[in-house]
Each structure stands twice: as C-alpha cells, then as structure tokens.
Amino acid sequence: MNADEVAAHWENNAETWTIYSRAGYDRYRDALNTPAFLNMLPSVTGLKGLDLGCGEGSNTRAVARLGARMTGLDIAPTFLRYARETEASDPLGIEYVLGDGQSIDFPEASFDFVTAFMSMMDMANQQGVLNEVVRILRPNGFLQFSILHPCFVPPTRKNIRDEKGEPIAVQIADYFDERDGRIERWVFSSIPAEERSALTPFSIPRFHRTLTSWVSMIVGAGLVIEAFGEPMASREVAFAEPVVADTRIAPIFLHIRARKA
Ligand SMILES: C[S@@+](CC[C@H](N)C(=O)[O-])C[C@H]1O[C@@H](n2cnc3c(N)ncnc32)[C@H](O)[C@@H]1O
C-alpha cells in the first residue's frame, strides 16, 4: 500500500476522529500517552519543531504551548482544515502544511526537532520517512516519536480479564508479521456503546514492524537512540480512567527519542 492509499483512508477517518477526539473520547491519548510524551520531551522553548502526522493538531498545540515554534504536517486535508480553523480562532503561531513524510517539502537542516505522535506506525516506507527526518533536522537535532508498542500490540492482541472485568494478562500473536497496510477497524472504546454502534469504524492501514526492525531503521537513518519510554498508568489514573488500566499489565505505547549525530 502506498502513501496515497494511506491518505485516502485517513481522509475518510478524519471527520469522525476529530469530532470524537476533541469531545474527549481518546482517553489513552489524553489521560496517559500525551502527558508521558511531553514529560519525556527535552526543553523546546524557542526551538523550531515539526510535528509529523499532526492530525487535527491537538498534540502540535501542546508542544507549541511549551514555547516551540511549530509546523504541523499531515497527509489528510480534512485534518489540516480542522487544525487551521483552530489556529485561526486560537492562534499559537503554528503553520500547517499538507504533505507526505517520505518527501518533506523543507530544506536540509530546517528544524531543531521533530515530533511524531502515534503516526509513524501508520506510515508507508518508514525508512524513507526516517531518512527525510534526518535530512531536515539540524546537526544534533532530535526526533521524538510514539508508536503502538511493537512487542505488546502486534497485529493480534487480546486483553485477558478476570471475572470482575479487570485486565490481568495480555495475549499476543503475529509479532513477526510485517505486512504493509493491514487494515485495523475500531473506534474510541470510551464512546458509549449505543453511539459507537451507529458509527462507521475507522479504517486504519498499519505498518507493524518488530522492535528489531525499528531499531535497524532508526540506526540506519543515522540517528542515535537516547531514550525509551513505556507509559504505565498510575493506580490513581487507572482508577479514574479504567480504560487505560491495561497499561499496568504491559505497555501499549513505546516512546523513542533519537538524535542526529
Ligand atoms: C493515529 S493518527 C495521529 C494523529 C495525531 N498525531 C494525534 O496524535 O492525534 C496518524 C496520522 O498520521 C497521518 N499520516 C499517515 N501517513 C502519513 C504520511 N506519509 N505523511 C504524513 N502524515 C501521515 C494520518 O493522516 C494521521 O493524521
């Protein structure tokens, strides 16, 4: 599957994704994943950053609020329309551009850092994307990205629960299946069941890679890995947000920071 086909899927997802994530139904993102990512991010005050696969821009805005001068890039026009509307009504100085991570339309060494929140496992040709990231990073600039954890969220995953419905274990399979563009269909699990059943599920092409492949691609692009993060909900967060309690069994997300030598 190529990037144009991926873009068509995301364009179809964008409206529902934006409405429901902005209504607070992306609980993993809001309660756990983004706070952990921002906690791991080095100081970006005054730095020039690119948010790759920015979607409707929620996380781009979060990084801009830390004092970075941000550009958001995404392949799906509807996401960018929403992101630009928000920038117009609540300006943070963010520029949003339509583009493909495989051929980023900026000169060499134009950014101090790049973020990619939960987008790299959805991109075709990740090696090409990482090579492009390195090209547009200035020397000593960094990339920090989050992905579905390759070890604990491979293509097949099932939560095992006790009689009270509490998660107690995880069953996984197909770890070594690196098929391109495998379609996953789901909607945010916190949406009430009756509303969820009326929605067309997202259709998400995924490009799962093993942990070995991720490390090979990152190193192959000329980056040096300097930090890993595997966010786990605290007892308090898991109590307040039961949907994220399964991250106490095994991580769902992997955060990686790597630097251009
Ligand atoms: C799971 S969404 C994450 C959106 C956003 N970063 C967030 O955290 O809410 C994945 C995003 O990657 C974008 N995407 C997929 N392939 C891309 C590519 N080749 N170049 C740029 N963006 C891409 C999709 O359009 C989508 O917005």
Q: What is the pLDDT of residues 200-236, one digit of tens each?
A: 999 999 999 999 999 999 999 999 999 999 999 999 9
pTM of the model: 0.95
Mean pLDDT value across residues 14-27: 95
Tokens of 246: 């399964």
Instruction: Give the tens place of pLDDT for each residue, 135-159.
Output: 999 999 999 999 999 999 999 999 9
Residue type, position 215, single letter: V
Tokens of 197: 């059943």
The packing angle between helices 77-89 and 3-22, to 10°, is 40
Question: What's the CA-to-centroid distance between 119 and ligand 1, angstroms?
Answer: 4
Residue of 76, 78, 29, 69 lying closest to 49 (CA atoms): 69
Contact 156, 174 (CB under 8 A): yes
Report how many domains make up the chain.
Answer: 1
Question: What's the CA-to-centroid distance between 54 and ligand 1, angstroms?
Answer: 6
- 257 or 1, higher pLDDT: 257
Spatial separation of the C-alpha atoms in residues 248 and 255, rounded to whole Å:
16
| Domain housing 152 | 3-260
Q: Which residue has the tokens 């090409």?
A: 128
Identify the CATH number of the domain in which residue 181 sits: 3.40.50.150
Question: What's the CA-to-centroid distance between 7 and ligand 1, angstroms?
Answer: 9
Please list every protein residue whose CB sits less than 6 Å from any atom of ligand 1: 3, 6, 10, 53-55, 58-59, 73-76, 79, 100-102, 117-119, 122-123
Spatial separation of the C-alpha atoms in residues 7 and 12, rounded to whole Å:
9
Has residue 190 got a pLDDT over 90? Answer: no
Contact 209, 216 (CB under 8 A): no
Spatial separation of the C-alpha atoms in residues 205 and 130, rounded to whole Å:
19
Ligand 1 pocket test: which of 50, 75, 207 has the largest number of ligand atoms within 8 Å of its C-beta?
Answer: 75
